[in-house]
A and B are shown apart, each in its own frame.
Chain A
Amino acid sequence: MSFLGTRAAVKSYGPTPALRGVTVDVAEGEILAVTGPSGCGKSTLLHCLAGIMPVDAGEVFYRGRRIDTTSEEERARLRRTEFGVLFQFGQLVAELTAAENVALPLLLAGARRRDARTAALAWLDRLGVADLADQRPGTMSGGQQQRCALARALVTEPRVLFADEPTGALDTLAGEQVLGQLVRLAREQRTTVVLVTHDARVAGYADREVTLRDGVVDPTGLGIAAVRR
């Protein structure tokens, strides 16, 4: 059993199947890109791996244990302490400053306010946005917001970072800077990364790529059906 993965994971939204028996393995410290055309199930796979969404059938495991059969409390603990998530947009709390946003996961985990702020400022500094600490998201560019969101995803020093189209809303250069930092920090911290993207250039930052097509792993990597239904 690998560090993180699924066995024959199945997930449907009502009558619509999203995952139709997906088996993936992610090694510790690996940066895995999950690619494929829109609607192929890649975001659903990420949500299932991160314990955000339950599977209908099959298994999800993490560090030798099944997490699809554990309690919701246990999954919530994993999401708080072991996993970090970064989405395309809309993640920062608009009413809070950058530093307050980044400190939030630590406060939720019971850290003292002053310690949480110190750690948040250090992470904003590592991402080159220390000068934005007291600004609210509304006054920042998309790239700056995404760096703050990355700081917030990493502030708890998670073992696994789940990133779903993390640069999908950014222009090429801003996206590249965010990705460059994400990969550099992940390698420094030996963080495992699951990176969902439809863009081959983003997948180029990963060690390895798994392509989904119609809710199954496509071994050809081409992401198309042999003969469409």
Chain B
Amino acid sequence: MSTPHVLLGLLAIGPKHGYDLKRDYDLRLPKAKPLPYGQVYATLGRLERDGLVVRAGQDREAGPDRTSYAITPSGQAALDTWLSAVEPPLPHLNSVLLAKVIITLLVADLSRARDYLSRQRQAHAARLRELTAVKTDPTASVADVIAADYGINHLDADLRWLRTTLDRVVDLHREVTAR
């Protein structure tokens, strides 16, 4: 996730304090990892250094830092570039799941691989049910539904891949043992 661009996007709606930015980020990208405050301020610092945001005012109230930030024309241009750039449709070849399955198949026997894949499948299916419950909750926002859909479809792809992988392994196993 490109945090600087997401923050620019949230500032494009209007100037905000760091605290409001964090809250908006967590609210609008509900299933993403919550954004730590430290990262919000570090990112704002870099965006300010690069001239993409400016300080737009400061509240004198007690409490946390109340400096508010606004997007600059260069910031808007950087945001527009990011929004219009097509993401490379790379498969998730760096996934831990893929690495684990390959290593399991290399070092373990078929029944151990099956056992691992079966438990992995249960974990995926349980998460898929959780996300479906999020999506069908009558109080779900559009952002909740869209984020849940993203997760559900990726889990579904993983599940289909797991099954195909195991089918392949079984076929190879049969081929080897038939010789």
Is A222 within 8 A of B118, CB to CB? yes
Chain B residue, CB-CB nearest to A37: B163
Beta-carbon contact of A222 and B121 below 8 Å: yes
For B155, the closest partner residue in chain A by CB is A200
| Complex partner residue of A221 from B118, B128, B129, B156, CB under 8 angstroms | B118
Please measure, in the bound complex, the distance between the C-alpha atom of A165 and the C-alpha atom of B125, giving whole angstroms: 18
Q: Taking CB as reference atom, which chain B residue is nearest A176?
A: B135
Give the residues in chain B near A204, CB-CB below 8 Å.
Answer: 125, 128-129, 131-132, 152
In the assembled complex, which residues on chain B have CB atoms less than 8 Å from the CB atom of A222? 114, 117-118, 121, 162-163, 166
Contact B125 A203 (CB under 8 A): yes
Report the stretch among B18-26, B34-42, B170-178 that lies at the interface: B170-178
Q: Is B50 an interface residue (CB 8 A)?
A: no
Q: With a CB–CB cut-off of 8 A, which chain A residues contact B131?
A: 204
Contact B114 A220 (CB under 8 A): yes
**Are A205 and B136 in touch, CB under 8 angstroms?**
yes
Per the bound structure, the CA–CA distance linking A184 and B136 in Å amounts to 9
Interface check A223, CB cutoff 8 A: yes
Chain B 91-124 interface 0/1 with A at a Cβ cutoff of 8 Å (1 = within): 0000000000000000000110011011001100
Task: Contacts A183-B136, A200-B156 given; indicate if A225 touches B170 (C-beta within 8 A).
Answer: yes
B173–A201 contact, CB under 8 A?
no
In the bound complex, residues from chain A placing their C-beta under 8 Å from that of B155 are 200
Q: Name B's interface SS.
A: helix
Contact-residue bracket for chain B: 20 to 34
Contact of A93 with B by CB under 8 A: no
A206 to B110, CA, bound (A): 30
Q: CA of A203 to CA of B121 in the docked complex: distance in angstroms?
A: 13
Digit string of B134-159 for contact with A (CB within 8 Å is 1, else 0)? Answer: 00100000000000000011011001
Contact pattern, A 212-225, Cβ under 8 Å of B = 1, otherwise 0: 00000001111111
Complex CA gap A222/B125 in Å reads 11
A224 touches B170 (CB 8 A): yes
Does A227 sit at the interface, judged by CB under 8 A? yes
Chain A: minimal CB distance from B169 (Å): 9
Bound-state Cα–Cα, A220 to B159, Å: 13
Please judge, given known A-B contacts A224-B163, A227-B170, A228-B174, whether A209 and B125 are in contact too, CB under 8 Å. yes
CB distance A226 to B152 under 8 Å? no
Among B111, B162, B167, B173, find the residue whose CB has the most chain A CB atoms closer than 10 A. B167
A83-110 residues at the B interface, CB under 8 angstroms: none
- Chain A residues with Cβ under 8 A from B152's Cβ? 201, 204
A209 to B173, CA, bound (A): 28
Q: Is there a chain B Cβ closer than 8 Å to A128's Cβ?
A: no
State the CA gap A212–B163 with chains docked (Å): 14
Closest-by-CB residue of A relative to B114 is A220
| Interchain CB contact (< 8 A) of B166 among A209, A219, A224 | A224
CB-defined interface of A132-148 with B at 8 Å, one 1/0 digit per residue? 00000000000000000
Which one of A184, A219, A223 lies within 8 Å of B163 (CB-CB)?
Answer: A223
CA A96 to CA B90, docked complex, whole Å:
51
Complex alpha-carbon distance, A226 and B129, angstroms: 26
By a CB distance below 8 angstroms, the chain A residues around B125 are 200, 203-204, 209, 221
11 A-B pairs whose Cβ atoms sit less than 8 Å apart in the complex: A201-B128, A201-B152, A201-B156, A203-B128, A204-B132, A209-B125, A221-B125, A223-B163, A226-B110, A226-B114, A228-B171
